[in-house]
Structure formats: structure tokens, C-alpha cells
């Protein structure tokens, strides 16, 4: 089977846009584990809520205003919900074993699914793009949806902001210190509980943002959070659980594997991601950018 360079470039751009969505979701997932030590299976539910909120906001505020309002308001509402979940539930299990964390966060998936069913029903929902982002860009004789490049830009922008936040601010230093020496940070007089609440709200904000960004490209439905969380766990396993830049690397690898897998062996594209995750677990269980201590923690 012959493919010219233009088709390969098309798949590369498609894989890059998919990778940026995976990064937005996986960065929140790995941030919570890296700082708080919590395995949050409910993270996909926040992504789903963000998509449904984007649908409602674009229905109420139509056109250009509705889309941009959705990108701003939907993640904000999601992070407020996330803050309440952290303060009411997660705060009680920080010192418990991971199995209890998994059970609690997994149960939250069903709670959020039922809440969405009560509010929005079970019908598929669609978010329309504003005219300014609904066109196409031509490269090498192929047309790309302009929205692909918007997704790539959002992902790159978030990655840059997270780098500035974690590496260049006092808050970022506190996060890194809390991830390694939680008790010491508390003894220095910092409110570790409040810090964890902010971290969880940041993570759920990223989940809500990813849901709002992806909403115009998919049919929004119940269960979409569970579908994506499995792929995001593969991303953080490959990159290194608890490592933000590992999440970015893992997302880039996963996006390209899926894009080119669809091109060459469309029926088995997802299988290659699971094979990659299995190889990483066997030969480098702490991920490509993770540290060995993470595998023991």
C-alpha cells in the first residue's frame, strides 16, 4: 500500500490534534496523582460535564459569543464542582490505600452519569462551531478543518502556561515540594489542605476545558468520560504517572500511534496503544519520564 508524503502529513496533523486533547485531560489526571497521590477515575466524568455544559451554553448564547463563553464558563463551573468533591469526599481518603481511592472515584462516575441523565437526558448532543472556526485550511492539496489547528493551539498554550506556573512561580514550587514532602510543607505553616483543593480544581478545570474544546467535533453522550479515561491512563502510564511533561510526551506518542494505526490497520489502531502500555509496564514501569520512586509509591 503506497502513501505519498501529503497523506502522511494529514495523519500527522490529525494525530497532533488528538494528542492535544489527550494532553489536556491527562495533565489534570497526572497532576492530581503527582501532588495529591490520588488515583482519580472520575476525571473523565469532569471532561464529560464540560462537554455537556458547553452544549447548554452554546444553545443559550448562540454563535460566536456562545462558543467563547462556553470555553470560559464551562471549565469554571466544572472546577467549582471539583472543589466541592475534593472538600467533601476526597479530603477524607488521602491517607487511605489506593484501592479505596479507586472505589470512591469510580463510584463518582455513576453519580455524575445519573446527574447528567436527569439534567440532559440520554439523547446525543451536538455543539455547532462558529463560522470563524468552521472552515478549512489547505496544505499539499489536502484540506484540514481549521478547528484542528485551534485544538493544537489550545493544547500548546496550556502546556506553556503549566510550565510557567510550575517552574516560574512560588505556587509551582509549593506544588513540587508538597508532592515530595507534604508534612514538611505543613510544618512550615502552609495550608496543605487548601493547596490540595486548588490542585484538584486546576485538574478538573483542565478536564472541563478539554470537554468544551472537543465538544464541537464529537457527538456528546453518556459514557464518553469512561471511554476517554482509559486512553488517558495509557498516556500517563507511558509518560510517567505524576509527571506533567510525561503526560505531554505520552499524549503525542498515543496521538500519532492512533492516527497512523487508523491509516495502516484501521481495525487494530487502539490495540497498538495497549501493546505500548504493556511494554512500558514490563520494561519501564515508572514511564518514559517518570522516576523509579514513582513505581514504588
**In DSSP terms, which residues pair with 139 in a beta bridge?**
142
Alpha helices in 129-243 (DSSP H): 146-168, 170-180, 182-187, 192-214, 224-239
Phi, psi of 241 (to 5 degrees): -60, 125
Report the pLDDT value the prediction gives residue 172, as an integer from 0 to 100: 84
Q: Per-residue pLDDT for the chain (297 aa), expressed as one digit of tens each?
A: 555 666 778 888 889 999 999 999 999 999 988 888 888 889 999 999 999 999 999 998 877 788 899 999 999 999 999 999 999 998 888 777 878 888 999 999 999 999 999 999 989 998 988 888 888 887 767 778 889 899 999 999 999 999 999 888 888 888 888 777 777 777 777 888 888 899 999 999 999 999 999 999 999 998 898 888 888 999 999 998 888 899 999 999 999 998 888 878 877 778 888 898 999 999 988 889 877 754 433
CA dist 281 and 286 (Å) reads 7
Q: What is the CATH number of the domain that holds 237?
A: 1.10.3470
- CB atoms closer than 10 angstroms to residue 245: 17
The set of cell numbers assigned to 212 is 468544551
pLDDT tens per residue across span 64-107:
788 899 999 999 999 999 999 999 998 888 777 878 888 999 99
Nearest to 36 by CA among 200, 162, 241: 200
Nearest to 46 by CA among 18, 15, 83: 83
The set of cell numbers assigned to 5 is 508524503
Nearest to 105 by CA among 119, 85, 87: 85
Phi, psi of 99 (to 5 degrees): -60, -40
CA dist 12 and 216 (Å) reads 21
CA dist 3 and 9 (Å) reads 10
CA dist 17 and 249 (Å) reads 14
The set of cell numbers assigned to 256 is 500519532
Contact 239, 112 (CB under 8 A): no
**Residues in the chain, overall count:** 297
CA distances from 193 to 55, 131, 210 (A): 33, 44, 26
Report the pLDDT value the prediction gives residue 3, as an integer from 0 to 100: 57
Q: Could you tell me the pTM of the whole model?
A: 0.90
Place of cell 510550575: 166
The set of cell numbers assigned to 279 is 511494554
pLDDT tens per residue across span 212-224:
999 999 999 988 9
Number of domains within the chain: 1
Per-residue DSSP letter, 288: S
Domain extent at residue 189:
5-296
CA dist 167 and 173 (Å) reads 7
What number of H helices and E strands is found in the chain?
12, 2
Report the pLDDT value the prediction gives residue 2, as an integer from 0 to 100: 52
Amino acid at each position: 500500500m503506497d502513501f505519498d508524503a501529503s497523506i502522511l502529513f494529514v495523519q500527522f496533523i490529525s494525530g497532533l490534534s488528538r494528542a492535544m486533547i489527550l494532553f489536556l485531560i491527562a495533565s489534570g489526571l497526572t497532576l492530581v496523582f503527582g501532588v495529591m497521590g490520588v488515583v482519580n477515575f472520575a476525571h473523565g466524568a469532569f471532561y464529560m460535564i464540560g462537554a455537556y455544559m458547553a452544549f447548554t451554553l452554546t444553545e443559550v448564547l448562540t454563535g460566536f459569543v456562545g462558543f467563547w463563553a462556553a470555553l470560559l464558563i464551562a471549565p469554571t463551573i466544572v472546577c467549582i464542582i471539583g472543589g466541592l468533591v475534593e472538600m467533601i469526599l476526597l479530603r477524607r481518603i488521602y491517607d487511605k490505600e489506593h484501592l479505596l481511592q479507586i472505589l470512591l472515584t469510580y463510584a463518582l462516575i455513576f453519580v455524575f452519569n445519573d446527574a447528567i441523565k436527569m439534567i440532559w437526558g440520554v439523547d446525543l448532543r451536538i455543539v455547532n462551531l462558529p463560522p470563524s472556526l468552521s472552515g478549512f485550511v489547505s496544505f499539499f492539496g489536502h484540506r484540514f478543518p481549521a478547528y484542528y489547528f485551534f485544538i493544537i493551539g489550545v493544547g500548546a498554550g496550556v502546556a506553556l502556561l503549566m510550565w510557567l506556573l510550575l517552574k516560574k512561580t512560588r505556587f509551582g514550587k509549593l506544588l513540587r515540594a508538597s508532592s515530595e514532602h507534604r508534612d514538611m510543607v505543613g510544618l512550615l505553616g502552609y495550608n496543605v489542605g487548601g493547596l490540595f483543593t486548588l490542585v484538584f480544581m486546576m485538574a478538573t478545570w483542565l478536564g472541563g476545558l478539554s470537554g468544551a474544546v472537543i465538544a464541537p467535533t464529537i457527538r456528546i453522550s453518556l459514557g464518553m468520560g469512561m471511554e476517554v479515561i482509559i486512553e488517558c491512563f495509557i498516556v500517563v502510564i507511558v509518560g510517567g504517572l505524576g509527571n506533567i511533561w510525561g503526560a505531554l510526551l505520552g499524549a503525542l506518542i498515543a496521538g500519532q500511534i492512533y492516527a497512523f494505526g487508523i491509516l495502516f490497520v484501521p481495525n487494530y489502531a487502539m490495540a497498538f496503544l495497549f501493546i505500548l502500555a504493556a511494554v512500558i509496564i514490563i520494561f519501564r514501569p515508572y514511564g518514559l519520564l517518570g522516576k523509579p520512586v514513582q513505581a514504588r509509591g
